[in-house]
Amino acid sequence: MTALNTMPVQDLLVIEDIDGKEILVPFVEEIVPEVNVEDGYVLLTPPPGSSN
């Protein structure tokens, strides 16, 4: 995760893949069920068909 874009309707996580491509992920509980600041990770559960 490289950033958090706070938008009027929905916040977006900005993630950079291994090729440097920026991916925007809706910051909603269904997709981002856990943010663990202490251990330094964000758990993502992408919907079916959303990954390449």
DSSP 19-50: TS-EEEEE--TTT--EEETTTTEEE--PPTT-
Given this model, what pLDDT does residue 52 score? 57
Given this model, what pLDDT does residue 14 score? 95
pLDDT tens for the chain, residues 1 to 52: 899 999 999 999 999 999 999 999 999 999 999 999 999 999 999 888 776 5
Q: Are 15 and 27 in contact (CB under 8 A)?
A: no
pTM for the full predicted model: 0.76
